[in-house]
């Protein structure tokens, strides 16, 4: 497990950009953290690292935003409005979790794992990066991440 301390949104963006440059087809990035912790900022950085020039914004109401035009396509999911795994399946979103053609970034990934809170990760066919963003101070975040699987 790795830890990164970000002292500004720009540093969080830069971390995401580095991940985007390293990303390969089939990556699934599950993000957890409180409202305002920086999940969307990290995803914006991933998009920049992939070479995506479109404006990236949180898909809270749309649930899914798809971006093309970069080195790999990126799908950005937001599960904030989903309460249970059954709701996620009912919305047809589980298809994004296995064998993505590009990179899939999922905010509020703990909603998929339910009470397990992401601790017992089922086997994904994708490479899964489990990310927790914690607010330490107004402009300071601890980003803890671990790669699991493929």
Query: What are the tens digits of pLDDT across the range 96-116?
Result: 887 788 999 999 998 887 644
- What CATH number is associated with residue 18? 3.40.50.300
Instruction: Please state, rounded to an integer, the average pLDDT across all residues of the chain.
Output: 88
Residue 30 clears pLDDT 90, i.e. is over it: yes
Question: Domain span at residue 125?
Answer: 2-148
Q: pLDDT value at position 125?
A: 58
Question: Among positive and negative, which fits the CA dihedral 7, 9, 11, 12?
Answer: positive
Q: pLDDT value at position 117?
A: 44
Q: pLDDT value at position 150?
A: 61
Total domains present in the chain: 1
Query: What are the tens digits of pLDDT across the range 32-51?
Result: 999 999 999 999 999 999 99
Mean pLDDT lowest among 75-84, 118-127, 128-137: 118-127
Strand 2-6 with 74-78, pairing: unpaired
Quick one: what percent of the chain has pLDDT higher than 90?
63
Q: What is the CB neighbour count within 10 angstroms for residue 30?
A: 27
**What is the pTM assigned to this prediction?**
0.89
Cα–Cα distance measured from residue 127 to residue 50, given in angstroms and rounded to the nearest whole number: 17
Q: pLDDT value at position 89?
A: 86
Residue 20 clears pLDDT 60, i.e. is over it: yes
SS3 at position 66: strand
SS3 at position 108: coil
Q: Which helix (H) or strand (E) holds 31?
A: strand 27-33
């Amino acid at each position: 497990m790795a830890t990164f301390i970000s002292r500004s949104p720009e540093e969080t963006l830069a971390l995401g950009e580095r991940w985007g440059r390293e990303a390969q087809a089939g990556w699934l990035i599950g993000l957890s953290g409180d409202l305002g912790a920086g999940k969307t900022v990290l995803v914006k950085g991933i998009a920049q690292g992939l070479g995506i020039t479109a404006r990236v914004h949180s898909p809270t109401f749309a649930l899914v935003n798809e971006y093309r035009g970069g080195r790999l396509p990126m799908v950005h999911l937001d599960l904030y409005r989903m309460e249970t795994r059954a709701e996620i399946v009912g919305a047809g979103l589980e298809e994004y979790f296995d064998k993505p053609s590009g990179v899939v970034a999922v905010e509020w990934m703990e909603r998929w794992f339910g009470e397990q809170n992401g601790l017992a990760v089922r086997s994904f066919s994708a490479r899964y990066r489990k990310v927790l963003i914690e607010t330490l101070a107004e402009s300071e975040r601890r980003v803890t991440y671990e790669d699991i699987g493929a």
